[in-house]
Chains A and B, each alone.
Chain A
Amino acid sequence: MAGLSLTNIHKSYGKVDVIKGVDLTIEHGEFVVFVGPSGCGKSTLLRMIAGLEDITEGELKIGDRVVNQVQPRDRGVAMVFQSYALYPHMTVYDNVGFGLLLAKTPKPERDAKIMEAARILQMEHLLDRKPAQLSGGQRQRVAIGRAIVRKPDVFLFDEPLSNLDASLRLDMRSEISKLHNSLGATMIYVTHDQVEAMTLADKIVVLNGGVVQQVGSPLELYHKPANLFVAGFIGSPKMNLLPVKVTDLSADTMTLASEALEPITLPRRDGIGQGDSLTLGVRPHQLLKDGTKRIAGKVDLVERLGNETIISAILPSGETVLAALAGDVAIALNDDIALNFDPDEICLFNAEGNAV
Chain B
Amino acid sequence: MKLTPTKSLQNHPLAGWSLAGPAIFLITLFLIVPFILAFTLSFTNQRLISPNPTEFVGMRNFEQLLGVGTLVLQPETDEAGALVRDATGELSYPRVRDYTRNNADYPQLDGKREWLSWNWGDAKVYVLASDVVFMKALGNTFLFVLFVAPIQAGLALLLAVLINQKLKGINIFRAIYFMPVVVSIVVVSLLWRFIYSGQSGLLNNMLGFLSFGAFKPVDWLGNPATALWSILAMSVWQGVGFHMVIWLSGLQTIPASLYEAADIEGATTWQKFRYVTWPGLRNTAVLILIVITMQAFSLFSQIDVMTGGGPVDSTQTMVFQAVERGYGQQNIAGGSAISVILFLIVLTISMAQRYLTRERNR
User: Taking beta carbons and an 8 Å cutoff, which residues of A are in contact with B?
Assistant: 50-52, 71-74, 77-79, 81, 83, 85, 87-91, 98-99, 102-103, 128, 130, 146, 150
Distance in angstroms from A110 CB to nearest chain B CB is 13
B34 CB-CB contact with A under 8 Å? no
Chain B 174-216 against A: per-residue CB contact (8 Å), 1 yes, 0 no? 0000000000000000000000000000000000000000000
- For the complex with contacts A89-B279, A99-B265, 13 further pairs of A-B residues with Cβ separation under 8 Å are A50-B264, A52-B264, A71-B263, A72-B260, A72-B263, A79-B260, A79-B261, A81-B261, A83-B255, A88-B279, A98-B275, A146-B261, A150-B265
Task: Determine if B265 and A81 form an interchain contact, defined as CB atoms under 8 angstroms apart.
Answer: no
Flag if B263 contacts A52 (CB, 8 Å): yes
Residues B119-175 near A (CB distance < 8 A): none
Interface presence of B95 (CB below 8 A): no
Q: Could you say which residues of chain B place their CB within 8 Å of the CB of A51?
A: 263-264
Q: Is the CB of B282 within 8 A of A89?
A: yes
Residue from the list B260, B279, B362 in contact with A87, Cβ < 8 A: B279
Q: Which 7 A-B pairs have the closest CB atoms?
A: A73-B266, A99-B265, A85-B257, A89-B279, A85-B261, A72-B263, A72-B264
A87, A99, A128: which contacts B266 (Cβ < 8 A)? A99
Task: List 28 contacting pairs A-B, 8 Å CB cutoff, sorted by A.
Answer: A50-B260, A51-B263, A51-B264, A72-B260, A72-B263, A73-B263, A73-B265, A73-B267, A77-B264, A78-B265, A79-B264, A81-B257, A81-B261, A83-B257, A85-B255, A85-B257, A87-B258, A87-B261, A87-B276, A88-B279, A89-B279, A90-B279, A91-B362, A98-B262, A99-B266, A128-B362, A130-B361, A146-B261
CA distance A204 to B280 in the complex (A): 38
B:254-299 near A, CB below 8 Å: 255, 257-258, 260-267, 271, 275-276, 279-280, 282
B interface, size bucket: 10 to 19
User: Hey, which chain A residues are within 8 Å of B362, CB to CB?
Assistant: 91, 128
In the complex, chain B residues 331-362 whose Cβ is within 8 Å of any chain A Cβ = 361-362
A99 cross-chain contacts in B, Cβ below 8 A: 265-266
Chain B at the A interface: SS class: helix
Tell whether, in the assembled complex, residue A102 and residue B266 are in contact, meaning their CB atoms are under 8 Å apart: yes
- For the complex, what is the distance from the CA of A98 to the CA of B266, rounded to whole Å? 9
User: With A85-B258, A87-B275 known to touch, is A98 a contact of B282 (CB < 8 Å)?
Assistant: no
Which of A50, A79, A102 interacts with B267 by CB under 8 Å? A102
Q: How far is the CB of A321 from chain B (nearest CB, A)?
A: 43
Q: Are A81 and B266 in contact (CB under 8 A)?
A: no
Contact of B271 among A71, A79, A102 (CB under 8 A): A102
- Give chain B nearest CB distance to A188 CB in angstroms: 13
Q: A78: which B residues are within 8 A, CB to CB?
A: 264-265
A103-B258 Cα distance, complex, nearest whole Å = 18
Output the nearest chain A residue to B259 by Cβ-Cβ distance: A85
Shortest distance between the CB of B7 and any CB in chain A (Å) = 35
The residues of B that contact A89 with a CB separation of less than 8 Å are: 279-280, 282
Q: Which of A71, A78, A98, A130 has the most CB of B within 10 A?
A: A98
How long is the Cα–Cα vector from A52 to B259 in the complex, in angstroms?
Answer: 10
Smallest Cβ-Cβ distance to B265: which chain A residue: A99
Q: Are B260 and A85 in contact (CB under 8 A)?
A: yes
Q: How far is the CB of B362 from chain A (nearest CB, A)?
A: 7
A-chain residues with CB within 8 Å of residue B263 when the two chains form the complex: 51-52, 71-73
The residue on A at minimum CB distance from B258 is A85
Task: Point out the residues of chain A lying under 8 angstroms from B267, CB to CB.
Answer: 73, 102
| Nearest CB in chain A: distance from B280 CB, A | 7
Q: How far is the CA of A71 from the CA of B271 in the complex (A)?
A: 15
Residues of A within 8 A of B266 (CB): 73-74, 99, 102-103
Nearest A-chain residue to B276, judged by Cβ:
A87
From B260, B276, B279, B280, A81 is in contact (CB under 8 Å) with B260
Q: Chain B nearest CB: distance from A104 CB in Å? A: 10
Contact with A along B76-100 (1 / 0, CB 8 A): 0000000000000000000000000
> Which A residues are in CB contact (< 8 Å) with B258?
85, 87
Which of chain A's residues have a CB closer than 8 A to the CB of B257?
A: 81, 83, 85
Rounded to whole angstroms, the CA-CA distance of A87 and B267 in the bound complex is 13
Which residue in chain B gives the minimum CB-CB distance to A91? B362
Given the complex, which residues of B lie within 8 Å of A79, measured CB to CB?
260-261, 264
Chain A residues within an 8 Å CB radius of B264? 50-52, 72-73, 77-79
> How far is B280's CA from A128's CA once the two chains are assembled, in angstroms?
19
B residues less than 8 Å from A85 (CB atoms): 255, 257-258, 260-261
Residues on A with beta carbons closer than 8 Å to the beta carbon of B260 = 50, 52, 72, 79, 81, 85
Given the interface pairs A85-B260, A87-B275, the reply to whether A102 lies near B265 with Cβ below 8 Å is yes
The interface bits of chain B over 235-258 (1 if a CB of A lies within 8 angstroms of the residue's CB, else 0) are: 000000000000000000001011
Q: Nearest chain A CB to B270's CB is how many angstroms away?
A: 11
Q: Enumerate chain A residues within 8 angstroms of B276, measured Cβ to Cβ.
A: 87
CA distance A90 to B360 in the complex (A): 12
